[in-house]
Amino acid sequence: MAVGAVPVSDPTLLADIRKYGKFDPTGCYQCGSCTLSCDLVEKDTTFPRRSIRFALLGLRQPLLASLDPWVCHDCGDCSTVCPRQSEPRISMITLRRFLSARYEWVGIGRKLLQSTAWYLGSLIAVALLTLVAIIGYHLWYVAMPARDFATTPFGLDHMFPMMTYYTLAVILFPMLLLVSRVAHIWRLTMRGDGRSHIPWSAYFTEAWVYVYESIAQTRMRKCPEHRRWFGHEVLAVGTLIMINIKVWGLRWFQTDNIYPIYNPQRWVGYIASALMLYGIAYIMVGRWRAKKEIYKETHFQDLVFPVLLVLTILTGLAAHVLRYCGVALACHYAYAMHIVVATPMLVIEMSFGKWSHMVYRPLALYFLAVKDRATQHAPAGEAVPNAI
């Protein structure tokens, strides 16, 4: 909130937030136990209560400008100690969904994040469209008889270079969408009322924070549950390896050649798959047991990414194994399923789902570091936008 601006209470804010999930901290009497329990609290003694308070008071603009929900790494310690069962962890999750929807400028994200039916429907629609595109390519574009299409074992690379463009499109489209939101997030969280500004030099000096936090996820490492950080890191490394293979080396990776086991074409893929499966297994077992606070209240959207990723890996591995076993036709069906599952995961989940947090969290920490630097170097009496 800009210094000097008078905040206006919006009575519709609370109802608006509750469209995105559970938000019931009305019993909170500001005892501060959540702040004391949180390992992420440094000098700011209002974390995590401040953004929750903004919501309760109907302060829409200060809430939209708040980066706090992205600093929270969802460990659940605050909910465990809360004497009023206000569940601050759950409130922070809902605020992240609310903010994600506000960062999105087309309006689709709001619909998807508010409604499980819309989210599921969009995943199914993209999967069906992909299936129609595969069939349409063979029956109409290549003009192949339907019987031949159903029974002929083609090579995996028969759709190149079309497949190269397709893969680039479904990976780069969500990435561009996410990057396009950065300017909007900047406007909401960094610009303030326009009367004061943060020097551009602060953005350059602190740019390393974005890169470092994207890789190291230092806030999650501070949470007492250290294996959780390790599981997420392993998952992130495996996913990054696989995305880079698909973007830069699709022709090398998706081939009909048979390689010996020691060839990197094989073991790089195995390593990436094993890392992703380990990370997903760690998260899913925790959610299934639901013993720890962190895994309580699993939302539909928490499951979309792990489930789709597992299906994508398993169909990819099935195509690979069937190819090496010489079962070419079955390999093709497995490969088609692989594309049908991977496309909605990339187009919908990466653009609108929890995957986007991988961009928002480091961005929030970067912006906070920029504000910190600007505050330290601000001339006496000059306000830094949204610095509280």
Task: List the one residue out of 183, 128, 69 whose CA is nearest residue 347.
Answer: 128
Q: Which stretch binds ligand SF4 (CB under 6 A): 15-23, 33-41, 268-276, 280-288?
A: 33-41
32 interacts with ligand SF4 by CB under 6 A = yes
237 interacts with ligand SF4 by CB under 6 A = no
Task: List the one residue out of 96, 101, 68, 105 whose CA is nearest residue 181.
Answer: 105
SS3 label, residue 42: coil
296 interacts with ligand SF4 by CB under 6 A = no
Residue 152, CA distances (Å) to 139, 257, 320, 356 in order:
13, 18, 18, 39
286 interacts with ligand SF4 by CB under 6 A = no
Amino acid at 373: R
Residue with smaller CB distance to ligand SF4, 257 or 298: 298
State the number of CA atoms in the 13 A half-sphere of 83 facing the CB. 7
Residue with smaller CB distance to ligand SF4, 53 or 111: 53
213 interacts with ligand SF4 by CB under 6 A = no
Residue with smaller CB distance to ligand SF4, 73 or 97: 73
Biggest alpha carbon–alpha carbon distance for the chain: 78
Q: Which stretch binds ligand SF4 (CB under 6 A): 81-89, 205-213, 310-318, 359-367?
A: 81-89
Interface characters, 90-109, with ligand SF4 (x: CB under 6 A)? --x-----------------
358 interacts with ligand SF4 by CB under 6 A = no
307 interacts with ligand SF4 by CB under 6 A = no
Q: Which of 51, 66, 86, 351 is the binder for ligand SF4 (CB under 6 A)?
A: 86
88 interacts with ligand SF4 by CB under 6 A = yes
**Rounded CA separation 157/257 (Å):** 10
- Find all residues with CB under 8 Å of 25, minimum gap 6, and list them: 52, 56, 86, 87, 88, 91
**Rounded CA separation 25/90 (Å):** 9
SS3 label, residue 46: coil
2 interacts with ligand SF4 by CB under 6 A = no
Q: Which of 4, 5, 24, 30 is the binder for ligand SF4 (CB under 6 A)?
A: 30
Report whether 196 contacts 383 (CB < 8 A).
Answer: yes
C-beta of 23: minimal distance to ligand SF4 in Å?
12
Residue with smaller CB distance to ligand SF4, 102 or 361: 361
122 interacts with ligand SF4 by CB under 6 A = no
CA Rg, the chain, in Å?
23
Q: Which of 31, 271, 274, 310 is the binder for ligand SF4 (CB under 6 A)?
A: 31
Report whether 70 contacts 360 (CB < 8 A).
Answer: yes
Q: What secondary structure letter does DSSP report for 160?
A: T
33 interacts with ligand SF4 by CB under 6 A = yes
Residue with smaller CB distance to ligand SF4, 92 or 331: 92
C-beta of 213: minimal distance to ligand SF4 in Å?
15
C-beta of 293: minimal distance to ligand SF4 in Å?
8
Residue 140, CA distances (Å) to 146, 149, 158, 160, 334 in order:
10, 11, 16, 17, 22
Residue with smaller CB distance to ligand SF4, 34 or 339: 34
Residue 129, CA distances (Å) to 106, 315, 339 in order:
21, 18, 11
Interface characters, 49-78, with ligand SF4 (x: CB under 6 A)? x----------------------xxxxxxx
Return residues touching ligand SF4 (CB under 6 A). 25, 28-34, 37-38, 40, 48-49, 72-78, 82-84, 86, 88-89, 92
